[in-house]
Chain A
């Protein structure tokens, strides 16, 4: 029967082609718009490190001005001061921990004709690579020992390895960075967590850095830090004074395997702040945060307002398209009252009729859904061209999204078809036959 109904649906759709086209187009546009904005939101709120996002925690301490909070809603600063980060690092109370900051440097390749070039850098601790599952092609992370003895070692990404060393295994080679020689200990493969959760202070969707050096290089003034710096209290002159100031500019992450470890670490942070309060710092009320990856991203609101607003708009748009379809289907099915009356008189049950017209609504839904996918693809292309590199990686449809688009289309058109179908199957045969 299904295929017979399918054929009937085809005949009916071709007969009222204008109306059918209008419905398919409306559903297609609605689905297309909804899927476009849902994709962007889905990508923005994606889990960048799903298998261990519950074990990685960002540390926030409220070292800010007693007179006014850092964020208006009372959240503590998003970054730590250098002195607090170093104190936490030295305590080593977590299973793994890393302090880090964004930096930049100029690389001078060997050879007289080679041209120096600027790279984005990250200064971090040895645990960074293990904690965040950074994939290596050659070599591996530097050791904690290297951190402590301030060794000049570097991990580079594959592009820099290609550019400077021609893509060969460069572990053990030296690289001149910002005027100092570093030993290459590892080359990393393509690695691009979205959002770039480990540092969102300069944009949550930025690319990962090109080179990684030990965090101590900043204090040694061998590499220039960059990124976001926020101060509330004037510091003295010179770099030493800056390091000891109340300016926040470092990010601190810990890996804690279970709840108990979280509890212990949280207690440790409380004790640390209490002890700092005793020496006159941390004048604000106790306000530590130890958030896992997804909690952290949510509290920092990485999904942009524009994206949420657009999604709300497009869902309303989809609703309009569906109302449109309900109205048109209703008109169409009621227009067939005569036909329905005859079928009922010939013995079709209400169930049969309901089923038949549901198949027809479903057909319109599938066609609309497919068209919607095309529109969603075009919409994402459009967003790409409007935003350029600003939406890097946020506008790709994956299998989940494609399937959910089709499901959304069929579900919504079935929902839209339900009322008109029910109405159609309710037609009184006697009345219809009388008027013939």
Chain B
């Protein structure tokens, strides 16, 4: 105990150096904890399942320019061609692609009328092959029948009579018991009734940043549009081989349109989360270099203080101090400095988090993370001071007898 007080008093004689390194440790902890927290949040977002069989799906755009183009017939022909191509599991026309960033949203409400609250939902216009093509899991209820599928003329504001919603959407409408949503009639576009005939486990909306990204609905529509998309599911492992074949087959089967924008679902996911991925990589680099710099800073300062005190250390050794006592001295000194840094740093970490929460609407930090951060800092401090401390311990007592 006596020794600790001694070390503390010795430290006070060189306050500024100790405070500087403490501040550095404090800032490192502040940044480290918040950066890891931000990375965790992004990582969690990226882990949410889209509900799709992503590995085997790709899509393309069908842009019609010919003026004498019978869309209804051409769509039937295209789907027939796609579904009969060897290696293709199934295919549909769809109005929007999950996670792609562009889509259509509506509101659903349990009571009709203009001033009722409604829940936002992403709309996917598809036919009865959608569940099979996308690889969705039907939790309860049933799929659309072939007779449910209607032809949607462009510009119409009418909606079909049936819909399939995701579990998250059912929960949003009926928070007490999502299963009770099955068979219920809800209202779209404020007043039009639409009946929930099925519930699927998951199907993400096109917007990954939307807090309702799990809320989607399928409606049985085939669309009249000069710019439509086909989503195609292939047998496992055959996607890349089939993409150029299908592009060519479609382009040749009808010259009044352009087939373009072929893209896999995997690429769409990568693009959708590219910003998240990039931020995470940058933050990792920042945390890593920061820790290194702080570590080396501790090493550098300790080395210098040992060099300056060479003679003192030699004298202590000559007076009977053991090597481990010398080492202990520097380890304890470092521990004190680190502790000061950690105390300031914990406050800083929480302060920065509060600022981030207020400015960027992030969620508050998990305290466990601060504890882990503190443990890391202590470890780094210990590792950094180990080499200088050993060097100090190895100073020969004979030094004391020499003049400076």
- Interface stretch, picked from B50-58, B89-97, B280-288, is B280-288
Given A319-B27, A324-B293, A324-B297: A179 in contact with B286 (beta carbons within 8 A): no
The residues of B that contact A320 with a CB separation of less than 8 Å are 24, 27-28, 31, 290, 293-294
Given A67-B115, A317-B290: A328 in contact with B301 (beta carbons within 8 A): yes
Query: CB distance A118 to B258 under 8 Å?
Result: yes
The residues of A that contact B5 with a CB separation of less than 8 Å are none
A sample of 14 more A-B contacts (CB under 8 A), given A306-B279, A323-B23, A324-B293, is A18-B300, A67-B115, A116-B258, A117-B258, A241-B157, A308-B360, A309-B356, A320-B28, A320-B31, A323-B297, A331-B304, A335-B307, A386-B274, A387-B278
CB distance from B190 to the nearest CB of A (A): 6
Query: CB distance B275 to A387 under 8 Å?
Result: yes
- Interface stretch, picked from A153-161, A232-240, A346-354, is A232-240
* Count of interface residues, chain B, beta-carbon cutoff 8 Å: 54
Query: CB distance B65 to A179 under 8 Å?
Result: yes
Of B23, B34, B274, B282, chain A has the most CB atoms within 10 Å of the CB of B282
A19 interface residue (CB < 8 Å to B): yes
What are the 3 closest A-B residue pairs judged by CB atoms, nearest first? A386-B278, A331-B304, A106-B65
Query: CB distance B156 to A237 under 8 Å?
Result: yes
The residues of A that contact B17 with a CB separation of less than 8 Å are 327, 330-331
Given A178-B65, A237-B155, A242-B155: A327 in contact with B21 (beta carbons within 8 A): yes
Query: CB distance A390 to B274 under 8 Å?
Result: yes
- Shortest Cβ distance from B225 into A: residue: A224
- Shortest Cβ distance from A420 into B: residue: B16
The residues of B that contact A239 with a CB separation of less than 8 Å are 154-155
Q: How far, in angstroms, from A254 to B308 measured CA to CA in the complex?
A: 71
B402 interface residue (CB < 8 Å to A): no
Q: How far, in angstroms, from A118 to B258 measured CA to CA in the complex?
A: 8
Partner of A388, one of B115, B156, B189, B274: B274
CB distance from A219 to the nearest CB of B (A): 13
Query: CB distance A327 to B360 under 8 Å?
Result: no
B179 interface residue (CB < 8 Å to A): no
Report the number of A-B residue pairs with Cβ-Cβ less than 8 Å.
Answer: 136
CB distance from B108 to the nearest CB of A (A): 14
Q: How far, in angstroms, from A326 to B301 measured CA to CA in the complex?
A: 11
Query: CB distance A22 to B304 under 8 Å?
Result: no
The residues of A that contact B157 with a CB separation of less than 8 Å are 234-237, 241
CB distance from B356 to the nearest CB of A (A): 7
Partner of A313, one of B189, B283, B293, B304: B283
Q: How far, in angstroms, from A102 to B27 measured CA to CA in the complex?
A: 47
25 A-B pairs whose Cβ atoms sit less than 8 Å apart in the complex = A18-B300, A29-B293, A104-B227, A105-B65, A106-B63, A118-B260, A236-B157, A237-B156, A237-B157, A242-B155, A305-B360, A316-B31, A317-B31, A320-B28, A320-B31, A320-B294, A323-B297, A324-B24, A324-B293, A327-B24, A327-B300, A331-B305, A332-B304, A386-B278, A390-B275
CB distance from A127 to the nearest CB of B (A): 29
The residues of B that contact A18 with a CB separation of less than 8 Å are 300
B67 interface residue (CB < 8 Å to A): yes
Q: How far, in angstroms, from A386 to B274 measured CA to CA in the complex?
A: 7
Q: How far, in angstroms, from A407 to B300 measured CA to CA in the complex?
A: 27
CB distance from B290 to the nearest CB of A (A): 6
The residues of B that contact A397 with a CB separation of less than 8 Å are none
Q: How far, in angstroms, from A326 to B156 measured CA to CA in the complex?
A: 69
- Shortest Cβ distance from B21 into A: residue: A327
The residues of B that contact A116 with a CB separation of less than 8 Å are 65, 258
Q: How far, in angstroms, from A334 to B24 measured CA to CA in the complex?
A: 20
Query: CB distance A331 to B300 under 8 Å?
Result: yes
A26 interface residue (CB < 8 Å to B): yes
Q: How far, in angstroms, from A436 to B307 measured CA to CA in the complex?
A: 16
Given A237-B157, A317-B31: A330 in contact with B258 (beta carbons within 8 A): no
The residues of A that contact B297 with a CB separation of less than 8 Å are 22, 26, 323-324, 327-328
Query: CB distance A313 to B65 under 8 Å?
Result: no
Interface positions of B from 150 to 168, Cβ below 8 Å from A? 154-158
B296 interface residue (CB < 8 Å to A): yes
